[in-house]
Amino acid sequence: MVEITGGWIAAVLAGVVVTVLLGAALVLTAAAMRRLSTALLMTAGAAVIAALVVAVVAHVEAPAPIGVPLALVGIAAAVVGGDPITRRVLAIAASGRVRETPDGGIVVTDDAGPAASDDVVLLRGGATIGYLERIATAAAIIAGYPEAIAAVVAVKGVGRFSELTGSEARERFIVGTLSSLVWAALVSAAVRLALF
């Protein structure tokens, strides 16, 4: 039987608040997937920062009945929310220079000479790779093993090495990876701090 004390009530309240804030971030970023809106994404970012602040200030462990939904909402917010965040950051970084393919790749022009100008698609599957990268990052941080993120980045770098010859591809790879990882790390850090 669980004894209800002031500390237990505070832990439940903190866990609920963090869950609601991360849920709000999930809803806002999901809405931004349909129409990329900076205002929605900034509000989602503010919700994640607020969740981090609550988790740090409350400094209590959420009980299991709150911990499971908190972890599930947090992982969903980290994985799904990272897509529009990363796309918006990449759009800002590219300043309209790069055309994007539906799978997250980029189209660059290969100028072999004055008469030749062929479009080349690079970094195919970037969106799918981003989802997998954020799942691994969130799981690693929530499990308390953030060192695994180094393996995720290494595998991604090795897999993309041959495509990183052009400056646009390198820039997109670095900016996309960092924005994706930072989002996933912030969201999952809020979960980790609220749970442990």
Read off the DSSP letter of residue 146. T
The pLDDT of 114-140, averaged and rounded, is 80
Q: How confident is the model at residue 40 (pLDDT cuts 50, 70, 90)?
A: very high
Q: Which amino acid is at 151?
A: A
Q: What is the pLDDT of residue 1?
A: 46
The pLDDT of 28-47, averaged and rounded, is 95
pTM of the model: 0.86
Q: Give me the residue label for tokens 């400094």.
A: 59
**What CA–CA distances, in Å, run from 149 to 22, 71, 96, 176?**
22, 18, 30, 15
Task: Name, of 5-19, 98-112, 177-191, the range with top average pLDDT.
Answer: 177-191
Q: How confident is the model at residue 180 (pLDDT cuts 50, 70, 90)?
A: very high
Alpha-helical (H) ranges within 35-147 are 38-58, 64-94, 126-142
Q: What is the pLDDT of residue 108?
A: 65
Average pLDDT taken over every residue of the chain: 87
Q: How confident is the model at residue 113 (pLDDT cuts 50, 70, 90)?
A: very low
Q: List, for residues 59-89, the tens digit of each pLDDT value.
A: 878 888 899 999 999 999 999 999 999 999 9
Token output for 105: 């790749």
